[in-house]
Amino acid sequence: MIIKTAFAFCVYLIQLSGLSAQSQLHEKVTIIDSRHYSSVFGEVRNYRIFLPHGYYENPQKRYPVIYFYHGWSQRYFGSGPDGYNHFEKGDDNGGDNIADFVSENEVIVVKPDGYNRSAGEEYYLRPYNIGPVETFRQFPLYFPELVSYIDGTYKTIPDRDHRAISGLSMGGFMSFWIGGKYPDLICAIGSFCGSAEFVNGPKDFPVEYRHIDMFRNYKGTKVRLNYGNKDFIRYYHRDLNKVWLQVMDNYEYEVYEAEHSTCGMGEMFSFLSGAFANPSAKPLNWNHIDVYPEFKVWDYNVKSDRDVPGFTVLEDVNDRGFKCAVRQHLPDGETLPFVSLSVITPPLYEKNTTYIINDIEVVSKRIKTYSTTSDDNGCLKISFNGSSHEIGINKANFKPDLGIASFAVTNIKYAKHLSEVKISINILNKGTQKGEGVKAKLTAFRNSAVVSGAEADFGTINVNETVKSKSEFIIHTVSDTTVIERFQLTITDKNKNTWNEYFELPVFRKDLPEIKDFRIADGSQVIVASAGIGSDTLVLGKGNGDGVANPGESIVILVKDEDLFRRTELLVPDNQLNAGGENKRLSDYWGTYDHVGGSAKYSVPVISSSCPENYVIDVVAEYWMPDYPNHIIKQGIVKIKVSGRDITPPSVEWLRIKGDNTIQVKLIDGSEVNQVRIKLSHQSDPAKSFEAELNNDGMNGDISPDDNVFSFTIPVRGFGFYTGEISASDSFGNITNLKDTGILVVH
């Protein structure tokens, strides 16, 4: 026993001398401040680690790990001068703190440093490089490296089932973000008073990331939110709960008598530790949304050439295929077909074997069937563009592969509380055998809705065919307070094959008021509410600026409330809006008002140029009203009469030249754009200037036809700096000429 104790003490000294700049003994807990070199960041990063009692005495003993992400103004070593809610040891947090939990439980807690400044720069209280994105440090990309280092240095149980993540405030935002990005690395996630939304992602093309949209990322993990009933973020948490409680079966929350803090820390850590004892298995079908152009999840490698803001959305992924799209925003933002994308699967397939790929482009209904061969490891590489795709992976003798292609409310414009709602569902077969005797049964995910007429007959569905149900499903909401309902569709065929899929349906008040005091912004300068309680003078929309909705215009609907016009988000589509697939959404940032990082969204839809005279656009509009620290969400019906003709020229969204010398110009117009030309003027040698006609037919550098991204690949000309001038005309003869002030590089 004396020999073992002496050995353990030597190990303890070696650990301290090799790893720590500072060490503290807190009763039965060893607290070490240490650092390591990060290849992801290209710099040394700090962390604090809490080791349980007996860690050094038993060399064979291994422990699960909880990673904890601190909040604003805090560091790995504690809080800065404006710190809040100390939660590490002693009497911190009323004794309910990290050291207290580790002293009573066999678990390691790691607290990484979120500091986002280089040596010599001014000290900065905002961690993690979010809201705004200011450096190239990407803390989610650092997480796998940190995990690998901790597992290689300390006595951890180095697997997903014994690893969890948590955090406070901005760290709570990070725990939900990182946890959703790496469900294959962790089994449980906890957030204390986490922020609901921030700008994050790549430095040059960040996105607005809202947790409320990301619920599909958490399948297979256990998730919990703790917040206080006096927390200034609590209203965003209530918004989140309205959705997550309806669509997730692995989420829970607890409200405490507290302000913005690590309220209920011991209970949260017990929840995470409980997941170690009973982890969820890897889901057979999973979904994932990612802000990065390249990522890896569940051993799938996804790569793209995207260099604009967006989200890559994977749905219903299994060994038979998946759905995929790259979207401008969530949940239903415009797709980005000009992005090239590839998915490399794990080694799920027979090695060096031919497989049949069915690729159905959802909007255009273009079908591409081709053969590809798995590699020496049994992996497949499948390539496509960023529009919405259904991908089937098959061999000639595989069974059908049936799933939901789309659904629609048929008897009313949108689903209403306490009303009969009829839904038609289309089922797609992306297998290699026809489905016969296909039936489907619909069930509600929560008891806030019921389904009658729950089974429908689809008959025979041939390969790559989409079939509509022969009868409609009828649903009723029992509650009049839900904002979304989830449903499960169980599909069977005559051979007793079974497929299960889910979809979500937004639900609105039965008695939504009609809003009559509104204004159309169609290129006019207007004074609008801004940043919660402020106002601003802006030019909104594109058109003739007369305040009348005309075909071809891009508009913003402004609702007058408390003597100010407020920008609105349109929640229900109309077939005369965004007919070309556009779905532009912008933001009114409220962070300076409520200090959360969220924003009120507003829509800029395009009116179809073919919209009939006196057609009435009937939409549900939503806007926010301030009531600090709350935001009051208001909804109502807006009816917009369309008149006149299209006199609005195409609008240039952006111009760029890619690394392969391909010019791309994104245009918005209510009709077909007939011709796009560009003049590139050399800055120093006019003789090198040239003109080119761009195309949208999927050829000569154009990735996808008919997506209003016009392209042309410039032959090699040698390196040079140019300015660009674009001319474009639509089918009504409206012409735009735009001189771009940026510098374009041709090589």
pLDDT at 24: 53
Question: How distant is the alpha carbon of residue 435 from its chain centre?
Answer: 34
pLDDT of residue 28: 87
Residue 327: its pLDDT value, please? 98
Indicate the residue type of 426: N
Residue holding tokens 């529009």? 387
Q: Do domains 402-506 and 651-746 have the same CATH topology?
A: yes
pLDDT by 10-residue block (mean), the chain, 747 residues:
38 40 63 98 98 94 98 88 79 94 97 94 93 96 98 98 98 98 98 97 97 97 98 97 97 97 97 97 96 98 96 98 98 96 98 98 94 98 97 95 97 96 97 97 96 92 96 94 97 97 97 97 97 97 97 98 97 94 95 93 98 96 96 97 97 92 95 95 92 92 92 90 95 93 88
DSSP summary character for residue 334: P
DSSP annotation string for 289-302? EESSSSEEETTEEE
For the chain, the structural domain boundaries read 2-277, 286-394, 402-506, 518-641, 651-746
Q: What is the SS3 assignment for 144?
A: helix
- Contact, 287 vs 255, CB < 8 A? no
Spatial separation of the C-alpha atoms in residues 702 and 282, rounded to whole Å:
39
Q: Which CATH number fits domain 651-746: 3.30.70.260, 2.60.40.1220, 3.30.470.20, 3.10.580.10?
A: 2.60.40.1220
Report yes or no: 209 and 197 within 8 Å, Cβ to Cβ. Answer: yes
Predicted TM-score (pTM) of the model is 0.94
- Of 710, 716, 714, 713, give the one whose Cα is nearest residue 700: 713
Given the candidates 1.20.1530.20, 3.40.50.970, 2.60.40.10, 3.40.50.720, the CATH classification of the domain at 402-506 is 2.60.40.10
Instruction: Write the pLDDT tens digit of every residue in 446-475.
Output: 999 999 988 999 999 999 999 999 899 999
- Alpha-carbon distance of 19 to 445, in angstroms, equals 50
Q: Is 101 helix (H, G, I), strand (E, B) or coil?
A: helix
CATH of 2-277, one of 3.20.20.410, 2.60.40.3500, 3.40.50.1820, 1.10.1040.10: 3.40.50.1820
Residues 204 and 197: their CA atoms lie apart, in Å, by 19
Q: How many CB atoms lie within 10 A of CB 34?
A: 20
538 contact partners, CB below 8 Å, separation of at least 6: 525, 526, 528, 530
Predicted local confidence at residue 26, as pLDDT: 55
pLDDT at 11: 37
C-alpha 162/C-alpha 448 separation (Å) is 35
